[in-house]
Amino acid sequence: MIGRSSQLPIIARAGGHGRRTAVVEAQGTFTYNDLLDASSRVAAALLAGRLDLHEERVAFLVTPGFPWVAVQWGIWRAGGVAVPLPLNSTGPELQYFIDDTGASALVLDAQAAPVLAPIAAARGIRALFYEQLPTFQAAELADVNIININSERRAMILYTSGTTSRPKGVVTTHANIAAQIMSLVEAWEWSADDSIVLGLPLHHVHGIINVASCALWSGATCQMLPRFDANAVWDCIAGGSVTLFMAVPTVYVKLIAAWDKASPERRACLSQACARLRLMVSGSAALPVSTLKRWKEISGHTLLERYGMTEIGMALSNPLRGERVPGSVGTPLPSVEVQLAGEDGEAVAPGTLGEIEVRGPSVFLEYWGQPEATRAAFHDGWFRTGDTAVMENENGVYRIFGRTNIDILKTGGHKVSALEIEDALREHPAVADCAVVGVPDPEWGERVAAAVVLKEGLKEALNDGDVLDLPSLRTWAKELLAAHKVPSRLLVLDALPRNAMGKVMKPSVAALFQSKGGGDSAA
């Protein structure tokens, strides 16, 4: 039964989707009615006789699957603020999130219990075990449905990647979340006939909003994997029912590697299965053009690249129909306003570098408990993303140059984009992956420093230096890049340091160059 909580549109819509399949996962297949039932039980347990949690924060650590959604919806239906915790976090990191949000309750599953139960006990916080949810009378469950949840209330706190400082809690309201979902549902034409496989972590906007929430808003099916596994994703695609796929660039790299390792028969079968999908999306980090090209060869799909951020949901997207320009992130999504601001804060002309600023209903409310940081993040009502881009004159599409303070290097008076140099270096026959950073230099301001990972097989066969040394890389790169963009520092690594979302942690790369004078250096 849906009562006045129908003011939460995702819950109200679920009533309409009723017996359709909402979630497919290892434990079985679950309908929208199952989700409504399980989430009302979570809500009743959290409320424990109260009428409304009044935005109390409830942190939860539950393996991706049906229970994860039931808990998120249950917290919302009880009037709480959902704080999804990252699965792979250490004890101290979890303590930080729990203390920072001042969570009044934790919901956990059996797998999370060993690490979370002691944290809850030490703080005297109520811990609710999903597997041991109490049983309720129909009347108690009905109480869940009389809570009036205004769309301006806080709904969720997600911690940002924190590649530079301690993670900040990004607070979104129910209205923000609905706006983020509706924008994507419209742009990418989600429908109840869609089915998506989710292998992304569920503490980040990509998995939570773009995949799970858009699917469940639309009456579609979400096939949820407990964690990313390239062969498991391929198996889902080969299963034939998947219509959509969305992932970060590193996931596509792993899928390509798994495809390369498969037998010729399986390769043919996987590639054929891709033809049944209607859309494949990449985002959350720059998509290397080399990955886009290789994926096209394997799957036949030109990946749709989009740009977004925890604070704003998605802002820019290549078109569902129409030309997808490699290396670009397209144009503003429905209901999202985008402008580029120069160093003086004024909007810049097309063709000029500027900081991306975003305005609209999908932009977050605040950084949790940090009014100063919140104020500093806005400029005349526009959210300052900290990303630099250029809008091309001729077609209005945006190209991302990277994080203003990290990826825009200033060398010998030139501003250069680390992302552009990385894309060029990935064309080198020995380079599997790379990250470019600026390292301080008295003469140049910053030097262009490249950390590279060599292609498998090359490393074992030869000494690194035989495969790739700085002089040979420079000679090669000068064919593709202007002289001031050619790296003058080189470090060969076994792997790039990445966070849980697969994003390269540039400050850690820069630190490697700083420590022990890292790598080869050119005069």
Sign of the alpha-carbon dihedral angle for 26, 84, 86, 221:
positive
Q: Quick one: which segment of 77-85, 146-154, 281-289, 509-517 binds ligand AMP (CB under 6 A)?
A: 281-289
Q: Is 397 in the site for ligand AMP (CB under 6 A)?
A: no
Q: Which residues of 43-66 are buried (b: 16+ CB within 10 A; e: fewer)?
A: bbbbbeeeeebeebbbbbbbbbbb
* Residues 6 or more apart in contact with residue 461 via CB below 8 angstroms: none
- What are the structure tokens assigned to 188, written together? 């990418």
Minimum distance of ligand AMP from residue 322's CB (angstroms): 18
The residue to which tokens 């994997």 are assigned = 225
Q: What's the burial of 264, exposed, middle or buried (CB within 10 Å: 0-12/13-18/19+)?
A: exposed
Q: Which of 42, 35, 7 is nearest to 19 (CA)?
A: 35
DSSP assignment letter at 49? T
- What are the structure tokens assigned to 31, written together? 């309908």
Say if CB 157 and CB 368 are below 8 A apart.
yes
- Continuous H helices in 443-522: 458-461, 464-467, 470-477, 506-514
- Taking residues 497 to 516 in sequence order and writing x for each that binds ligand AMP by CB under 6 A, - otherwise, the string is ----x---------------
Which residue is at the shortest CB distance from ligand AMP?
310
Q: Which amino acid is at 377?
A: A
Minimum distance of ligand AMP from residue 137's CB (angstroms): 42
Minimum distance of ligand AMP from residue 113's CB (angstroms): 28
Select the residue interacting with ligand AMP from 285, 377, 470, 481 (CB under 6 A): 285
Long-range own/partner contacts, residues 289-296 (CB < 8 A, 24 or more apart): 289/326, 289/327, 289/423, 289/426, 290/423, 290/426, 290/427, 291/249, 291/252, 291/253, 291/256, 292/326, 293/326, 294/256, 295/252, 295/255, 295/256
Q: What's the burial of 344, exposed, middle or buried (CB within 10 Å: 0-12/13-18/19+)?
A: exposed
Minimum distance of ligand AMP from residue 112's CB (angstroms): 22
Q: How far is CA 12 from each of CA 15, 164, 498, rounded to the nearest angstrom?
A: 5, 40, 39
Q: Is 286 in the site for ligand AMP (CB under 6 A)?
A: yes
Question: Residue 368, SS3?
Answer: coil
Give the DSSP per-residue string, 159-217.
E---SSSS--EEEEEHHHHHHHHHHHHHHTT--TT-EEEE-S-TTSHIIIIIIIIHHHH
Select the residue interacting with ligand AMP from 194, 357, 387, 520 (CB under 6 A): 387
Q: Is 403 in the site for ligand AMP (CB under 6 A)?
A: yes
The residue to which tokens 């964690």 are assigned = 227
Closer by beta carbon to ligand AMP, 234 or else 307: 307
Minimum distance of ligand AMP from residue 501's CB (angstroms): 6
Closer by beta carbon to ligand AMP, 128 or else 400: 400
Select the residue interacting with ligand AMP from 213, 284, 290, 299 (CB under 6 A): 284
Minimum distance of ligand AMP from residue 402's CB (angstroms): 7
Closer by beta carbon to ligand AMP, 105 or else 171: 171
Select the residue interacting with ligand AMP from 400, 436, 493, 509 (CB under 6 A): 400
Closer by beta carbon to ligand AMP, 65 or else 308: 308
Q: Is 253 in the site for ligand AMP (CB under 6 A)?
A: no
Minimum distance of ligand AMP from residue 208's CB (angstroms): 11
Distance from C-alpha of 440 to C-alpha of 460, rounded to nearest angstrom: 33
- Taking residues 180 to 219 in sequence order and writing x for each that binds ligand AMP by CB under 6 A, - otherwise, the string is -------------------------x--------------
How far is the first Cα of the chain from the last one, in angstroms, to the nearest whole number? 73
Distance from C-alpha of 487 to C-alpha of 471, rounded to nearest angstrom: 10
Select the residue interacting with ligand AMP from 385, 411, 417, 488 (CB under 6 A): 385
Closer by beta carbon to ligand AMP, 205 or else 416: 205
Say if CB 276 and CB 243 are below 8 A apart.
yes
Q: Are strands 105-108 and 57-61 parallel, antiparallel or unpaired?
A: parallel
Q: How many residues bind ligand AMP (CB under 6 A)?
A: 18
Minimum distance of ligand AMP from residue 284's CB (angstroms): 5
Minimum distance of ligand AMP from residue 418's CB (angstroms): 11
Give the footprint of ligand AMP on residues 292-311 (CB under 6 A): 305, 307-310
Minimum distance of ligand AMP from residue 386's CB (angstroms): 6
Minimum distance of ligand AMP from residue 398's CB (angstroms): 10
- What are the structure tokens assigned to 88, written together? 């792979």
- Taking residues 122 to 161 in sequence order and writing x for each that binds ligand AMP by CB under 6 A, - otherwise, the string is --------------------------------------xx
Minimum distance of ligand AMP from residue 357's CB (angstroms): 12
Q: Which residues of 417-437 are buried (b: 16+ CB within 10 A; e: fewer)?
A: bbbbbbbbbbebebbbbbbbb
Closer by beta carbon to ligand AMP, 72 or else 210: 210
Distance from C-alpha of 287 to C-alpha of 308, rounded to nearest angstrom: 13
Give the footprint of ligand AMP on residues 20-59 (CB under 6 A): none
Minimum distance of ligand AMP from residue 207's CB (angstroms): 11
Closer by beta carbon to ligand AMP, 332 or else 519: 332
Q: Is 340 in the site for ligand AMP (CB under 6 A)?
A: no
Which residues lie near ligand AMP (CB under 6 A)?
A: 160-161, 205, 283-286, 305, 307-310, 329, 385, 387, 400, 403, 501
